[in-house]
Structure 1
Amino acid sequence: MLVKSKKAADHVKDLEETFSVLRKYKLKLNPAKCAFGVQDGRFLGFMVTQRGIEANPLKIKVIIDMKAPTCLNEAQRLTGRIAALSRFISKSVEKSLPFFKTLRKAKTFEWGTPCQLTFEELKAYLARLPLLVKPSPGEALYLYLSAAPQAVSFVLIREEDGKQLPIYYVSKVLNGAEGRYTPIEKMALALVVTARRLRPYFLSHPIGVKTNTPLKQTLGKPDTSGRLVK
């Protein structure tokens, strides 16, 4: 449980209200696991600070120190650890595609050169993961969409002093028929996936979508294909 206050002067009042609710429902806290008046801390596996949200350094270190997988179980463990950090990793699915291809070979395990090179590049990327900033209430945000043959990726950003700062990275592997979508259909899919995944942001902020395809014009045409309409 996290009790957050915008101003230090309001924190005691916020705690009083929280404790009142806990007493009402006869809930108890373990004093040994409570911390009060802190400006940063670990919450839901992330490091929450005044600057924004940072990846848990322990989760990063586990991957950086990890040796190349020698079996399917170890490769699955690697992809699971990457997934836990995916909101911090630009195009995380694209970066993991060689691992996914290896996992599809259920009978044999082969960790080839593409997997090893990707593994080393991933470790280098994890050593400099970006800080995810937090937007102000009602602030206008921007969503960048991109599509590759086997994946779609997106990043939600805010602009500050002419700089674009990331808030959340999302990516999705294209399965089955999705891989045969046209570029415009892939962009539409990316938008739908993002709107569902980042629903709280879409409800609280005006969001401008930026892409290199005429998505708005295509969706507005009366002869738009059935798949796009859906």
Structure 2
Amino acid sequence: MGLEIKDAPEETFEKIDGERRVEVVEELKGINLSENDEKTTKIGTTMRPSTEEHLIQLLKKNTEVFAWTMTDLHEISPDVITHKLNVNPNAKPVKQKKRMFGAQRSQAIKEELNGKWCLCIDFTDLNKACPKDHFPLPQIDILVDSTSGCEMLSFLEVYQGYNQILLAPKDDKKKKKASFVTDQGVFCFNVMPFGLKNAGATYQRLVNHMFQNQIGRNMEVYIDDILVKSAKEQDHIKDLEECFQILTTFSMKLNPAKCTFGVRGGRFLGYMISERGIEANPEKINAIMDMSPSKLIREFQKLVGRLAALNRFISRSADKGLPFFKILRGRAKFE
């Protein structure tokens, strides 16, 4: 398989349709979880002092749920889940050429990656040979609706979540089909890499199993993004503790740099959620307001797509959008 190294900010894989999946918009502060100044995470600044004190105590007591480097990870037990490639036996293997990289990028491949570079394997041909796993992802509208009205939230993200799931041990021959070429040789994954066709379905199947008694009650999970929600602030420490216990049981690790604890609201899966309810994402509104007039059909399609993302906030959106749809279907003149 081809291998790509790309410059990318930390939020590269925090996006849905080009937007960040999770972002907290209120003021935050960092806290040290140990004597090591590098082991930090972020908490909100609007909670009661007693809640903050108990939250910090809880975080320091449960540092084992975090991973600061890849060496801190422990794979999920294969008795719980593994990822099976399920390659079509009639599909023929495809050999790709080794891609060329500059000295800096070649060194980045050789060394352990630190998050400033994103390692991406081009699995296009392998994915074509794998039947789709139709395990459903959560419906975003339903998930977001269930979070509104909560006094306190914590946004958690798993550290290299896909890499915490092993490839099925019985698939040793199939693992070679997911191999990639570098200047240092040919390698294949022992864990589930990013970019496989059915990786998201496997991961969602895992978290649905892990948090089956919490989802809908005090948690929501969308792939590797975890939201702990509490109707009352005083219940949030207990809800977080319950989440941490499950993470510890399954040896799943969080990314402390991407976690935010004890906030009143934030941007989640494209919507603004808070105790007040659900609000339109200002970025989506500004994206429409900032568009320049154009007669290009491509720009018009982009406008329709952006309006569709705000459907739930526009009364009679179907009626108001009918002229646009007529143009796209060629039933009206575009001027």
- Alignment TM-score > 0.5, same fold: no
Q: TM-score, normalised by structure 1?
A: 0.45
Higher helix content, 1 or 2: 1
With the length of structure 2 as denominator, give the TM-score of the two structures.
Answer: 0.31
Q: Which has the higher contact order (CA 8 A, sep 6+)?
A: 2
Bigger Rg, which one: 2
